[in-house]
Amino acid sequence: LGTSSLVGVPLSASAAKGAAEYDLEYYLRDIIMGNRPEGNLPASNGPPLPPPRALQGALLSLLLDDELQNCITIQELSRITKIPIATLSEQIRSFRSKVQPAFGSRYPWKEEVVSDEYYFDLTCYSLWKIASVSPELAENYAKREEFVRNIGRQILNAIMERGMISKESTATLSKGGHKHSGITVTETIPAVVEILDLFQSTKHCSAYRLGDKNDEERTGLKVFDALDDEEIISPNGVGSVNCLVSVFNPATLGGALQITGEGSRFAPDFVGPTLAAVWERVGSVDKGSSVFVSFESYFVDPVYRPNPKDFFPDERLYQFTISKKN
């Protein structure tokens, strides 16, 4: 991760130029002047944000719609909470109207439509906050996980059904399952790239990276190899394989950071659960090689900042683990 900083994962001072000097300065000031527990430096305002991107394309309507009626996200929330869509939509709009002055001061949108990146972000934040206090999800973390993962599965199904990826990738992903021969992790790579391209072309993110930036041999179309297939598909394979995915400037970044700052990990996300749904298709239950997919995500600030209160990430880094079920 080089000089990046992760939420809750401090990196060693040697990872960035000048870090040791900053640390020494802090400790000397602590000895001579005394530091308040929260530190002597106030938080910076942060770099100016670019204008909001205009989200576009068929994928957008799957994620959110202005009416909060027909998108996958609201339909799945209604299903899992047993709350009518109309009721949820009203609750989300009401909450959104209350928080939009504060949210908009940091993420100023141009239009109050979900095709505006920052208004999309605000709406996602509001939707997840309403979900978090619903009776079914308030304290049920398994249900929260089910909600997020089902969104990814339904997005993937819709992408395949509506021809948003190539026929070849759709055919490959369709081989996974109980009644088919199954697929390997290397066979999923073209579909994963096409799906990431789809999110980027929708303007949901500005860019992405598949694989470890410090290992050129394990990035892009080379992110998996035959040894990874052996771990999962072979009867002798007993391990797991890992994959890093970076998504830059995702349209859910502001809301996800806000919720994380509030002390919750239940934050808006579409890319992570959709990719997890792809890799859930690896293997074949009939052949005893089905898999379990888990992932964690972190926020990455590419700049080392001496003030610990300053944290301005532009990247969401996912670490996926694809494990063979026993």
Render the burial of 248-268: b for 16+ CB within 10 Å, e for the rest. Answer: bbbbbbbbbbbbbeeeeebbb
Residue 128 half-sphere exposure, CB side, CA atoms within 13 Å?
A: 27
pLDDT beneath 50: ranges in the chain: 1-17, 19, 22, 26-33, 35, 38, 178
Quick one: tokens of 249?
């400037």
Helical H runs in 64-214? 72-81, 85-106, 117-133, 141-161, 167-174, 189-201
Predicted confidence (pLDDT) per residue in 300-326, tens digit:
999 999 888 899 999 999 999 999 886
Closest by Cα among 101, 151, 113 to 266:
151
Distance between CA atoms of residues 281 and 175, nearest Å: 8
Using N-to-C axis directions, what is the helix angle for 167-174 and 141-161, rounded to 10°? 130
Alpha carbon separation from 130 to 62, 113, 123, 268, 272 (Å, rounded): 19, 19, 11, 12, 21
Task: Look up the pTM and report it.
Answer: 0.85
What's the full length of the chain, in residues?
326
CB distance 246 to 317 below 8 Å: yes
Distance between CA atoms of residues 173 and 179, nearest Å: 13
Residue that is written with structure tokens 């830059």 in the block:
248
Residue that is written with structure tokens 């599965």 in the block:
153
Distance between CA atoms of residues 261 and 256, nearest Å: 9
Closest by Cα among 259, 258, 266, 263 to 106:
258
Characterize the bridge pairing of strands 240-248 and 315-324. Answer: antiparallel
Predicted confidence (pLDDT) per residue in 280-294, tens digit:
999 865 555 688 999
Distance between CA atoms of residues 130 and 87, nearest Å: 11
What's the pLDDT at 308?
86
CB distance 272 to 4 below 8 Å: no
Instruction: Order across the sheet with 207-210: list the strands.
Output: 5-6, 291-301, 315-324, 240-248, 207-210
Residue 152 half-sphere exposure, CB side, CA atoms within 13 Å?
A: 23
Distance between CA atoms of residues 196 and 200, nearest Å: 6
Q: Which residues pair with 207 in a beta bridge?
A: 248
What's the pLDDT at 208?
98
Distance between CA atoms of residues 166 and 19, nearest Å: 47
Using N-to-C axis directions, what is the helix angle for 189-201 and 271-279, rounded to 10°? 160
